[in-house]
Amino acid sequence: MTTQLIKTASRKKNQILLVVITVSSLTLLIPWPGHGADYLHITDSGFVGLPISVRAMGMGGAFVAIADDYGACHFNPAGLVQIKQRQLGTMHADLYGLGLLHHYFLSFVEPTTGMGAGGISWSRLSADLEPEKWNYDLIFYSYGQLLSPTKSSPKEAFSSWGVNIKYLKHNTTWEEGSGYGLDAAFFIRRRKFSWGANVENLVSQVKWGTQRKESMPLTVKLGTVYRFSSRGLLALDIGASREDFPREIRLGSEWWPMQGMGIRLGIVKIFQKSADSRITAGLGFHIPVGKKIGNIEFDYAFSYNRDLRHTHYFSLSYSF
């Protein structure tokens, strides 16, 4: 009887917390009178929103409610509590196949030991646009922790929260800038369904060499996923900002038809001024090396773009 009351109280607390986060997020998105923002350079480039998970990219970037590998560092740090092994992840992409824009990523995550899971990541966007050259660097620390952790809770049913602390650096031929940002996230996992929320750039500032200061656009991303079996899932993400509501909708799926090989598909609909639709696809190969050595995973994703060349993403990760 006592255990049942505790579980009921815990469920109510999680429901109340989710409602508070959702309402607060929507309130932040309301364009209050007199509000204006001039998002330049880092903010206009969309660099801080570039995907860092090739697995997620294959699913159209619908990963907020999945977040069960190092990609959680970007999409939803609260999901880091699902990781059972240390992970080292890398990624490279020649954006649009032009040889001018290169995106690199490196991440290391540590599973929870009771005090929460953590990860540190580095992302770089490098451009060689003669006569101008520039680099964007993003270094961030991610942390996730269970809400009211209890040993009696089933592994597939829990709630968690997480944060990202970000440092940005921008170097160009003309000027330099640096800044910081803070993300706050929430995650609920059940046997078949999961829900996630990530408020990006809840607090942010970018300062330029001219002493000009700017804020990065606040973005709210909500996601849900349904696992129809241990081999497949279907995910949906919705993103919004003060300027665009909704900003984007992402639908993705993952299916493992055989042990060690996964197939992914995704659709992305962008609702900003430059409205766009994209189709993505991907493959994943899981290679167990041995219990004492670990596992290697190779991921590939393809993004179809109607106006520019297509982009191929490659990733190699190691779990140990």
pLDDT at residue 316, as a whole number: 93
Range of the domain at 113: 2-319
Model confidence at 48, pLDDT cuts 50, 70, 90, reads: low
pLDDT > 90 in the chain, percent: 45
CA gap 248, 219 in Å, rounded: 11
User: To which H or E segment does residue 15 belong?
Assistant: helix 2-29
Q: What is the pTM of this model?
A: 0.78
* Category of 163 on φ-ψ map: left (φ > 0), alpha (ψ -120 to 50) or beta: beta
**Residue 15, domain CATH:** 2.40.160.60
Count of domains observed in the chain: 1
Q: Among the listed ranges 9-13, 36-40, 144-148, 190-194, which one has the minimum average pLDDT value?
A: 36-40
Looking at every residue in the chain, the average pLDDT score rounds to 81
Strands 213-214 and 219-229, sheet pairing: unpaired
pLDDT at residue 252, as a whole number: 95
Which residue is it, tokens 């049913």?
Answer: 157
| Rounded (5°) CA angle 288-318-221 | 115
Model confidence at 209, pLDDT cuts 50, 70, 90, reads: confident
pLDDT at residue 217, as a whole number: 83
Residue predicted with more confidence, 215 or 40: 215
Q: Among the listed ranges 74-83, 196-205, 306-315, which one has the minimum average pLDDT value?
A: 306-315
pLDDT at residue 63, as a whole number: 95
Question: Per the structure block, which two tokens stand in for 213?
Answer: 């200061």
Alpha-carbon torsion (76, 81, 84, 90), positive or negative: positive
The one-letter amino acid at 107: S
pLDDT tens string 51-83: 788 999 999 999 999 999 999 999 999 999 999
* Category of 60 on φ-ψ map: left (φ > 0), alpha (ψ -120 to 50) or beta: left
User: To which H or E segment does residue 27 belong?
Assistant: helix 2-29
pLDDT at residue 317, as a whole number: 93
pLDDT at residue 151, as a whole number: 57
Spatial contact of 222 and 57, defined as CB atoms under 8 Å apart = no
Residue predicted with more confidence, 17 or 91: 91
The one-letter amino acid at 318: Y
Average pLDDT over residues 261-289: 86
Model confidence at 135, pLDDT cuts 50, 70, 90, reads: confident
Spatial contact of 264 and 301, defined as CB atoms under 8 Å apart = yes
CA gap 14, 161 in Å, rounded: 11
Question: pLDDT at residue 203 above 60?
Answer: yes
pLDDT tens string 279-296: 899 999 998 887 778 899
Nearest to 104, CA basis, from 77, 81, 143, 135: 135
Mapping DSSP onto H, E and C, the string for 66-123 reads CCCCCCHHHHCHHHHHHCCCCEEEEEEEEHHHCCCEEEEEEEEEECCCCCCEEEEEEE
